[in-house]
Structure 1
Amino acid sequence: MKHDQIPTERRTFLRLALALGAATAVHTIAADPAGTPTRPGGAPPAPAAGPPAQARANPSAYRLRPMTAITPPRFRPAAPPVRTRPFEELPELGSDAMVLSFDDGPDPVYTPAILATLRGYDVRAMFFVCGEMAAHNRDLLREMADDGHVIGNHSWSHPLVPKLSRGAIRDELGSTSEVIEKTLGAPPLWYRAPYGAWNRNSFEIGAEMGMEPMAWTLDTTDWTTPGTDTIVRRVEQGAGPGVVVLSHDAGGNRSQSVAALRRYLPALIERGYRPTVPRRS
C-alpha cells in the first residue's frame, strides 16, 4: 500500500506516536547532565542548592576544598564560539607577566589585607567572588574595582557545578553576576568553576552570560593551610611567563595567604615579573 493510501485513522495514530516519542526524547535530553566528567580521587562535599530569589541572610559556612590536583579534561565540543576548556595560562600577556588570582571572597577579615598589599606594589589581580559573600560585602567589591582589579564570577554558593541542572547553574552564575553588576555597574567578564570542576553546561551558560572561563596554572593549595613558607616556596618555584596563580581570600583562615603574598609579591617583582590581569575587548 502506498503512503498516500494509508487510512486516515492510522495516519492520525502514527502522528500521535511520533509526537509522544519526541516529547520523551526531549525530557531525556533535558535531564542529562551534559557530559558531566568523572573525577578521580573521590567526590568533594555535596553541592549546595542554587540561590533563591531573595538574598540569603548570611553566607554559609562552607569549607572550600578545590580539587586542584586535577587538570580539567577535554570535553565534547560545544557550539562555537563556546569554549570546551578553560584558560589555564596566559602567555600572550608577555614574557614578564604573571596573573595572581584569589577565590571565594570577598571576606571582611582577609580581603582588605590582600588589597592593601597589592596596592602597596601597584599590582592588579583577579578576584573570583562568591555571590553570597559579595552580597554582604559590597564595599569590598567597590574597593577592588576602584583599585583596578578584575572581578570574576565564582558562583553563588560554591557548589559542585557538574552535579547541577542547567537551571541551577544559570541561577548560581546569574545571581552572582547580578550582584556584581548592580554594585559596580557592569557584569563580570570572567568566571571560575568551584573546585575547578567544569562541564559543557557551565561553558555554554557562562558564554551566554558573556563570560570567559578561567582556571589556573599554579595552585598554592593555601586552603590546606600548609604554612606561609610552603605557600611562598610554591609560588616562587612555579613562577613563569603567563602563569596564573590560585590563592584564596575567604573560605577559612587565610592569614597564611595574606602573609605569603607580602613575601612572594616583592620577590616576583625583584625577579622581573610583572603581575597583571587579562583584558577582554
Structure 2
Amino acid sequence: MLNVYFTVDVEIWCGSWQDIDSKFPRAFKQYIYGHTPDGDFGLPYKLKVLNDHGLKGVFFVEPMFSCRFGRGPLEEIVNLIKEANQAIELHLHTEWVDEAKQPIFPSVAQKRQFMRYFNLDEQTRLIALGKQWLLESGVEKIRAFRAGSFGFNVETLNALIANDIAIDSSYNASFMGTESNFMPGTVVTEAVRYQNVYELPMTVYFDRPGHLRHTQLCACSYKEMESLLWKALEQGRKNFTILSHNFELLHRSFERPDKIVIKRFMQLCEFLDKNKDCFKTCDYGDYQGAVFDKQPTPLLSPLWRTGQRMLEQLWSKYA
C-alpha cells in the first residue's frame, strides 16, 4: 500500500503589490471560488471532486494575508474546507510580512520572499502567528507545515519544533531543497526524521536526463502521474506527495477553466478511487512515523512521456 498525499496550497495573490486593498476583494473571489462564465472551478469544486471519489486531501492554508485584510476571509476559507471534512495545515508566504497593518517585525520594511531569509527567532514567531490565526479561525489542530515556494531551511524545522508541529513538507529536491542545508549531499525523496520533526518531501522524478521535476497537477500529465504511482508502489516506497493549488483548474488568464488540467484532475481522482487497494489517500493524521534510513533515488519517467506532456501543455494554452 502506498500512502498518497494530495496536497493543495491555498493562497491568494493580488497580481502585484500595488493598490492591494482595492484589488483584494476580486482576487479573493477569483482565487478561492474560481468563477468563470462556464462555472466555478476553485476551491469548492476541488473539494467536491475529492469527496465525490471518497478521497482525502491536505489543504495547506496560507493565513498571512489576514494580517492585512482581517480574519473574515481566512475564516471563510477554513469553513469551506471544514464543511468538506478535509484536513487543514499551515502554509506561510512571507511576502505578506511587510504588508501587515500592525507591523510584525518593525525592522522589516521590504519583501523577504522565503522563510529562510528570516532567522530562527523570526521564523518561530511567524509560525506561531500563522498557527494561532488558523486555530482562531476554527482549525482544531495543526500537524504539518509547508513553507511558501518551498523556501525553508534547517532553522525552519527548529522553529516547527518550538511550535509543536511534528511534520514538514517543505523539501523539494527539484526546487531549493538541496539549498536548505537539510541533509547536505543527500537528495531527500522519502520520509526522514530530524529531531522531533518528520520531513515528508515532495515526490520528484527525472523527466529527462539530469533534470528533476516535482509531481504537480498543473505540471505533470496524468499518464506521468499514473506511471510514477505504480513505480513507487512496485519499488516499495511508502509515501507519494502531489502538489496542487486552489486556482490550478483555471486558465492562467483566470477568465476560463483549464480543460486539460480539469481532465487530468478527474482522471487522477478516478484512478485513485478505482485503486484504493493499492493507493491510500492520506492526511497527516494518518502518518505513523515510518522513515527511510537510506533515501531511494528519484523516480524515472521515460523521455517520450515528457514529450507527450510538453505537447499537452502547449495545447492547454489554446484549448
Do Structure 1 and Structure 2 share a fold, with TM-score over 0.5? yes
**Paired position in structure 2 for 1:216:** 202
* Identity percentage of aligned residues: 10
Structure 1 residue 185: Cα displacement: 4.8
CA distance in 2, matches of 1:172, 1:234: 36
Structure 1 residue 156: Cα displacement: 4.4
Say yes or no: does 1:172 pair with 2:126: yes
Say yes or no: does 1:260 pair with 2:268: no
Matches within 5 A, 1:172-191: 172-191=126-145
**Paired position in structure 2 for 1:235:** 225
Residue 221 and residue 97 in structure 1: after superposition, are their counterparts in 2 closer, same or farther (change >3 A)? Answer: closer
CA distance in 1, matches of 2:138, 2:50: 20
Structure 1 length normalisation: TM-score?
0.56
Q: Give the aligned residue type for 1:266.
A: E
Which structure's relative contact order is higher, taking Cα pairs within 8 Å and 6+ residues apart? Answer: 1
Structure 1 residue 142: Cα displacement: 1.9
Matches within 5 A, 1:36-115: 95-105=1-11, 107-109=32-34, 110-115=42-47
**Paired position in structure 1 for 2:244:** 247
SS at match of 1:186: coil
**Partners of 1:98 and 1:275 within 8 A in 2:** yes
CA distance in 2, matches of 1:238, 1:148: 28
- Structure 1 unaligned blocks of 5 or more: 1-94
CA distance in 1, matches of 2:273, 2:247: 25
**Paired position in structure 2 for 1:194:** 148
CA distance in 2, matches of 1:156, 1:197: 9
**Partners of 1:103 and 1:250 within 8 A in 2:** no
Q: Give the aligned residue type for 2:241.
A: V
Structure 1 residue 261: Cα displacement: 1.6
Count how many residue pairs are aligned between Structure 1 and Structure 2. Answer: 182
CA distance in 1, matches of 2:33, 2:133: 17
Q: Give the aligned residue type for 2:223.
A: R
CA distance in 2, matches of 1:234, 1:130: 29
CA distance in 1, matches of 2:118, 2:47: 33
Structure 1 residue 147: Cα displacement: 2.7
Say yes or no: does 1:275 pair with 2:281: yes
CA distance in 2, matches of 1:125, 1:185: 15
SS at match of 2:284: coil
**Partners of 2:55 and 2:273 within 8 A in 1:** no
RMSD, aligned CA:
2.8
Residue-by-residue CA offset, 1:192-251 (whole Å, 9 max, x unaligned): 1222232221001111111121232143345xx55xxx4323321221442111122248
CA distance in 1, matches of 2:228, 2:122: 36
Higher relative strand content:
2
CA distance in 2, matches of 1:246, 1:167: 29
CA distance in 1, matches of 2:65, 2:53: 26
SS at match of 1:153: strand
Q: Give the aligned residue type for 1:261.
A: F
SS at match of 1:144: helix
**Paired position in structure 1 for 2:192:** none
**Partners of 1:125 and 1:276 within 8 A in 2:** yes
Q: Give the aligned residue type for 2:244.
A: S
**Paired position in structure 2 for 1:11:** none
CA distance in 2, matches of 1:151, 1:184: 10
Out of 157, 160, 163, the residue aligned to residue 117 of structure 2 is 163
SS at match of 2:64: helix
**Partners of 1:130 and 1:157 within 8 A in 2:** no
**Paired position in structure 2 for 1:117:** 49
Residue 260 and residue 137 in structure 1: after superposition, are their counterparts in 2 closer, same or farther (change >3 A)? Answer: farther
CA distance in 1, matches of 2:139, 2:6: 24
**Partners of 2:120 and 2:158 within 8 A in 1:** no
Q: Give the aligned residue type for 1:183.
A: S
Q: Give the aligned residue type for 1:217.
A: T
Q: Give the aligned residue type for 1:132.
A: M
CA distance in 2, matches of 1:163, 1:157: 9
Which structure's CA Rg is the greater one? 1
- Structure 2 unaligned blocks of 5 or more: 13-31, 35-41, 96-112, 170-200, 205-213, 234-238, 289-319
